[in-house]
Structure 1
Amino acid sequence: MKRTKLVNQLTELLKPFSISDYCPNGLQVEGAEEVKKIVTGVTASQALIDAAIEAGADTILVHHGFFWKGEDQTITGMKQRRIKALLENNINLIAYHLPLDVHPELGNNAQLAELLDISYERPLEPWNKNCVAVKGKLKTPMSLEAFAKLVEEKLDRKPLINEAGDHLIKTIAWCTGGGQSFIDMAASQGIDAYLTGEASEQTIHSSNEQSIHFIAAGHHATERYGAKALGEYLAKTYDLDVEFIDINNPV
């Protein structure tokens, strides 16, 4: 498949221009014109780039790419080494951040819900197109302890939890990655528990004072599944050679 066709198909699928983001979505570093081997992963780290080179990939497709707002714009140090490796090996870097979080089938939020048997209802703020946090229900209501065990089993990661009362979890809101700031929005809607990747110091106070259970299951761990699902979709739809490589990150 031609690189241009692949990017066009991804743009049509993920609609990156429908949401305001902190980085460019789509092709970030240009490499081979003909796409034959794609490696997918969470973050375009040096370790993933090295693994893609070893795998003979001409394209890397990730959730966390380069060129974030507010970062140093110079191509030096770590960034220079990463980009140099891509250019020297003629590898395309394609990245989709928030568009991959919110896609209703292949997105990180949707894939995590499927993994944890959560029934999706709607975004926390359906009138706000930039709201990436969503809400739904557990298909089987359970205690925080039981849900934490399910999270640990499915994500292979012991989550940080904060119990705020003895109520069962029936309704739940979630946002993969660094979505802890949405806990207050979830609490204001009377939701039983909030699940995300990370925690801040104030998150625990919000949980305690608003009686909403809190679960932080890891930024990387909650965002493994969107890039993997997107790669599987490309392999099935376009008969492309796609390999997901998980570079573990404890955060």
Structure 2
Amino acid sequence: RILRIHRLWERDLADETGINEAEWHRRAEKREHDLTMEEADRLSEALGYPVYDPHGDPIPNRHGELPPRSGRTLTEAAPGTHTRIVHLEDEPAILFEQLSAEGLYPGMAVTVLENNEERVVIGGEGKKITLAPVVAANITIAAEDGEKTEKREEEPFVTLADTRPGDVAEVIEISPQCRGMQRRRLMDLGILPGSVITRELESMGGDPVAYNVRGALIALRDDQARLIRIKLKKETHEPQL
């Protein structure tokens, strides 16, 4: 019962609030004794009957049964494997914070570029991430095709934060890593697939930046802009001062 409620609270914190992921476990731990089984059922219903928590851990049903979870650790994958992350270990908390700081999350598609005794290098969303094997062992993956495939070049990955003043971009999507209130706020501001955004003004320090979205100027921090995936429609070549 406690495990079910804990993981439901984590799912709620991830999907319905803007609370940082580093806080999910601690806050859920404080609230895991607050609900009866009936209240837990109602919370599960409100969340759409989730099967996994935001770290990828299975959520027991009201009878204590766990859904199946398959996969292998990232350290078991050969270079050239195209796969996706299905679970990030969330204990100890400092480990999960490190994985989150690298921009990793369950559901993220990655390619194993290098795997040896010294390091594991993966590519995903336009960046390369180097991990110590002891850290990579805490990431569970599931092969998309089950086999090692030929090396392929990844499409250039561009976010709104990569633009320059005067650039015009079209939104492809908001990163799945962006959840809850923060995701809803961006959507309420008109940041939706197909929306056209122009980078307009920068603050003295370069952060935040003002963008024109559907005729309105909105300010976004760099960490927010990096959650918005775009393709450039018009690129400026003005030198940055």
Q: Normalised by the size of structure 2, how large is the TM-score?
A: 0.30
Q: Which has the higher contact order (CA 8 A, sep 6+)?
A: 1
More strand by share: 2
Mark the structure with the bigger radius of gyration.
2
TM-score by length of 1: 0.29
